[in-house]
């Protein structure tokens, strides 16, 4: 079983992730991991923090001479802004953020104690984990990419940029929809046997846990609600050179909780960033009187970056599903099992 834990606060000394279950024999290219981290920091609408942090990873365990050992892989990303101890208190919780919920849950008197961990800065750790998983998936010719489909109701590149610029001018924020595409995924990953083994359920959990993601769909997603069955399902064909295939992919590559051999297509909706430079009404934690919500250094739009996080969240789940089906100790053995299986199902 592949699993990971992350630790670290937004303005703490570092972000840390431990990835357990990656097999021995995988070449760990730090440059490719750093490339994914750089992509997470990109996108039109990012804020000033991205000018401060230039995320790079250190692999501090689980590797020798650039190759995984099969032991836990520890990943470290240092924060340049590590001023957590001197940061001011946050006493007026921001609507939409974890501020108030965290205060009530843990009994804090300062929302700073919540937001430092609840911050989306934590996703840098997850991207580092996912980047290792992408290296693993490369061995099986599985490729994962993402793209922005819509920002604030606009779909063309020019109109999306204009929407973000308008939000910035108005001291506002804006959300949107991104797509994650996984190509080369074989049929048979996941299972219909138990609810928690369904591949779409596992992917949904991984994607929806990204801060700010409020809705997810596979293939047609909500579009199924507007169609008849005859317009919805993907007819099945067979050819000797490629086996079973479909001419459409409304299912988004998953049927009955199991990958069907078509591309996996995921759409996710991200809400606008909660921190507004023209803040909404809130309440002071101390006085309980009306106040304006606190402000923090923030972004205007992070949908493109969220797509990168989504890619790497998807990579972790697919890598876990590959290991679940084909073995988990040695990369050579896993690839042999994978190749035999692909040959059989044709």
The CATH number of residue 165's host domain is: 3.60.150.10
Helices (H), strands (E): how many in the chain?
A: 9, 16
Nearest-5° Cα angle at 310, 193 to 247: 65
Which range of residues forms the domain containing residue 192? 3-345
pLDDT score of 271 more than 90:
yes
> Beta-carbon neighbour count of residue 114 at 10 Å?
22
pLDDT score of 280 more than 90:
yes
Residue 241's pLDDT is 87
How many domains does the chain divide into? Answer: 1
- What b/e readout covers 187-213, taking b as 16+ CB neighbours within 10 angstroms? bbbbbeeeeeebbbbbbbebbeebbbb
pLDDT digits (tens, 9 = 90+) for 21-42: 999 999 999 999 999 999 999 8
pLDDT digits (tens, 9 = 90+) for 139-157: 999 999 999 999 999 999 9
- Residues 247-258: what's their mean pLDDT? 98
Where residue 45 falls among pLDDT bands split at 50, 70, 90? confident
pLDDT score of 48 more than 70:
no
pLDDT score of 50 more than 80:
no
pLDDT score of 43 more than 90:
no
- Residues 180-206: what's their mean pLDDT? 98
pLDDT score of 245 more than 90:
yes
Residue 52's pLDDT is 64
Work out whether the CA dihedral 304, 309, 310, 315 comes out positive or negative: positive
């Amino acid at each position: 079983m592949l699993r990971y834990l992350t630790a670290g606060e937004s303005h703490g000394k570092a972000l840390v992730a431990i990835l357990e279950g990656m097999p021995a024999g995988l070449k760990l290219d730090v440059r490719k991991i750093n490339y994914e981290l750089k992509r997470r920091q990109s996108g039109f609408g990012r804020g000033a923090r991205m000018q401060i942090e230039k995320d790079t990873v250190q692999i501090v365990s689980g590797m020798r001479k650039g190759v995984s050992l099969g032991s836990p892989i520890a990943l470290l990303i240092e924060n340049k802004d590590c001023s957590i101890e001197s940061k001011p208190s946050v006493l007026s919780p921001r609507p939409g953020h974890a501020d108030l919920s965290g205060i009530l849950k843990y009994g804090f008197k300062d929302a700073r104690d919540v937001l430092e961990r609840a911050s989306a800065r934590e996703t840098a750790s997850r991207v580092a984990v996912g980047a290792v998983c992408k290296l693993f998936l490369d061995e099986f010719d599985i490729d994962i990419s993402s793209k922005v489909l819509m920002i604030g109701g606009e779909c063309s590149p020019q109109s999306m940029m204009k929407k973000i610029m308008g939000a910035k001018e108005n001291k506002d924020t804006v959300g949107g929809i991104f797509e994650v595409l996984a190509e080369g995924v074989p049929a048979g990953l996941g299972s219909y046997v138990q609810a928690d083994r369904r591949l779409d359920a596992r992917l949904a959990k991984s994607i929806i846990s990204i801060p700010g993601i409020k809705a997810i769909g596979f293939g047609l997603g909500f579009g199924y609600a507007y169609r008849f069955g005859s317009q919805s399902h993907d007819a099945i064909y067979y050819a000797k050179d490629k086996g079973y295939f479909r001419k459409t992919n409304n299912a988004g590559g998953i049927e009955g909780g199991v990958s069907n051999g078509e591309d996996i297509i995921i759409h996710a909706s991200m809400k606008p960033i909660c921190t507004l430079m023209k803040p909404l009404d809130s309440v002071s934690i101390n006085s309980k009187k009306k106040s304006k919500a606190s402000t923090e250094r923030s972004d205007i739009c992070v949908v493109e970056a969220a797509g990168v996080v989504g890619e790497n969240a998807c990579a972790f789940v697919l890598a876990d599903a590959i290991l679940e089906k084909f073995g988990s100790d040695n990369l050579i053995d896993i690839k042999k099992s994978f190749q035999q299986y692909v040959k059989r199902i044709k």
